[in-house]
Amino acid sequence: MHIERLGKCISSKDCSTGVETVSNSTTWELVLFQEQASRKNTAALKSRLTAAWEAVLARSGRSGAAQMLPASQCAFLHASALALPPFHMLPLEYPPLTLVIFSLSLLAPLPYYQLVFAMWMALTSVLIYWLLLRFGPRGAALTFALFALVGAWATAEGRFDLVPAALTLLCVLAAERKHWTAAYIALAFGTLLKIYPLLGHWRWKNSLVFFGILIGVTALFALLDFQGAVVSQLSYFAHRPVQIESSGSTILWIAAQFGHPAHVEFTFGSLNIVSALGNSVSLFFLAAFVLGYLYVTWLQWRGKLDLVQSFIALLLVFMATGKVFSPQYLIWLMPLLAYSNALDGFWLLFWGSISLLTTIIYPYLYTRTPNILAVQFVPGFVQAVAVRDALFVLVTLAYLFNWFQVRKRKALPAEPVGKATRPLLES
């Protein structure tokens, strides 16, 4: 249930307390103990879990393993949390249906979990490549491969973002071919895995299927744990501070040079900047998001944007104004940009630069220090984030106002037609 969060806990990137990475076999044994405890709720399994963590720390010369892990990310590892019944400790970062994605790899032996998960994501990327090759304009599949190679080689197979990206692409492909029911089914499941597909184009006549699936699956998890399935999700995003890579972070760093101190904390599963101006910056970007969303809706209503362009515009606005900018977020846009603007010079240059800077930030600059809380002192980190975010905001504005004709789409391949019959010979 908490496999990805456990992986984040024990990785060198997210473990600010300095706990050393342990072997995969020990890690997945601990996951198995936790899953068994949540199902059976037995005191014996709790003690085995606690003992296992103490053994891990003993191997590295440490003690008190549970106390040394980041509480916000690894609370589920504490023995006291194991008294909860199944599905009463749902992930805060993602909608509950993501449990299905993480659970598929449990079909293999636990020591191979990471490998099997990576294989599932690799197959998903192959599916996206094939869809673009089959239905996209010439060069779309190659464009997606280039974007993924430059901007997502470190994140694509370790995160599940390829799955909602594939579902969003399926939604677009189905909608452009007027298969509205299939489009809204794909959109519903994409939203149940990541919130961002909810921003997309609406055809209210066919939205009943979407809301039926969305409400039905959410209600199922809410019956098991309403707090974890609904309330905690909303509270998590409402109260989290500005993340260190988001567009707002640059404003806070600049303000810090003019007498408004800021510091970095590891909370809400990421590095965040805490400042007295944090709330003001968050409100400013929230207002920018609302204005951007309304502007895109107005363009769409006037017929200036088609379905694909609307998705791209809304995602650009969402990412440019969001509190968080994680490296894997680029994956959301890659299939859509490849489908809409295959081998376009502007996108190859600017999106390629954004992708390259993102890869330099993570994993390269993040791994230049053993203390994740000191990453802002790594030479070039703050500057790389500022340049990347400035380029992203520039691309967003260019798309919204169609500077340099950046919205111009590549022509789709002609639809196959039936074989023409030879004319009858005239007598």
**What's the half-sphere exposure (Cβ side, CA atoms, 13 Å) at 405?**
5
- Using omega within 30 degrees of 0 as the cis cutoff, is the peptide bond preceding 327 cis? no
Q: Are residues 351 and 366 in the same domain?
A: yes
Residue 360 located in a structural domain: yes
Token pair 């055809």 is at which residue? 203
Q: Are residues 213 and 305 in the same domain?
A: no
Residue 94 located in a structural domain: no
Cα separation, 163 vs 181, whole angstroms: 19
Q: Which domain holds residue 277?
A: 240-405
Domain boundary among 177, 210, 234: 234
Domains: count for the chain = 3
Residue 117 located in a structural domain: yes
Token pair 């409400």 is at which residue? 215
Cα-to-chain-centroid distance, residue 75: 22
pLDDT greater than 50 at residue 368: yes
Q: Are residues 177 and 245 in the same domain?
A: no
Backbone angles phi, psi at 313, to 5 degrees: -60, -45
Residue 292 located in a structural domain: yes
Backbone angles phi, psi at 12, to 5 degrees: -70, -20
Q: Which range has the worst mean pLDDT, 18-22, 39-43, 195-199, 352-356?
A: 18-22
Residue 335 located in a structural domain: yes
Q: Which of 95-104, 192-201, 233-242 has the highest mean pLDDT?
A: 95-104
Give the tokens for residue 336.
């859509």
Q: Are residues 123 and 36 in the same domain?
A: no
Greatest alpha-carbon pair distance for the chain in Å reads 98
Report CA Rg, the chain.
23
Q: Are residues 181 and 56 in the same domain?
A: no
Planar angle of CA 343, 384, 325, nearest 5 degrees: 75
Count of beta carbons in the 10 Å neighbourhood of residue 375: 21
Q: Are residues 302 and 379 in the same domain?
A: yes
Tens digits of per-residue pLDDT, 237-257?
667 899 999 999 999 999 999
Strand pairing report for 242-243 and 262-267: unpaired
Long-range contacts of 371-374 (CB under 8 A, 24+ apart): 371/16, 371/18, 372/12, 372/13, 372/14, 372/15, 372/16, 372/266, 372/271, 373/16, 373/264, 373/265, 373/266, 373/271
pLDDT value for 20: 35
Q: Which residues pair with 272 in a beta bridge?
A: 243, 265
User: Does the predicted model carry a pTM greater than 0.85?
Assistant: no
Cα separation, 31 vs 411, whole angstroms: 49
Tens digits of per-residue pLDDT, 277-321?
999 999 999 999 999 999 999 998 899 999 899 999 999 999 999
Q: Is residue 374 within 8 Å of 244, Cβ to Cβ?
A: no
Residue 77 located in a structural domain: yes
Q: Which residues pair with 275 in a beta bridge?
A: 262
Cα separation, 115 vs 157, whole angstroms: 9
Q: Are residues 383 and 246 in the same domain?
A: yes
What does the pLDDT average to over 151-170? 93
Cα separation, 26 vs 350, whole angstroms: 43
Q: Are residues 347 and 374 in the same domain?
A: yes
Which residues make Cβ contacts (< 8 Å) with residue 307, sequence separation at least 6? 172, 175, 176, 201
pLDDT value for 169: 96
Cα separation, 17 vs 12, whole angstroms: 10
Cα separation, 117 vs 110, whole angstroms: 11
Q: Is residue 252 within 8 Å of 275, Cβ to Cβ?
A: yes
Q: Is residue 201 within 8 Å of 177, Cβ to Cβ?
A: no
Residue 427 located in a structural domain: no
pLDDT value for 184: 85
Count of beta carbons in the 10 Å neighbourhood of residue 46: 19
Count of beta carbons in the 10 Å neighbourhood of residue 184: 25
**Any idea what DSSP says for residue 92?**
S
Q: Are residues 208 and 278 in the same domain?
A: no
Q: Is residue 337 within 8 Å of 408, Cβ to Cβ?
A: no
Give the C-alpha distances (Å, rounded to integers) separating 134 from 128, 138, 140, 378. Answer: 10, 10, 9, 44
* Residue 136 Rama label (left phi>0; alpha psi -120 to 50; beta): beta
pLDDT value for 61: 40
Q: Are residues 245 and 341 in the same domain?
A: yes
Tens digits of per-residue pLDDT, 10-59?
333 343 333 333 344 444 444 444 444 444 443 444 444 444 444 443 44
pLDDT greater than 70 at residue 372: yes
Q: To the nearest whole percent, how much of the chain has pLDDT over 70?
A: 64
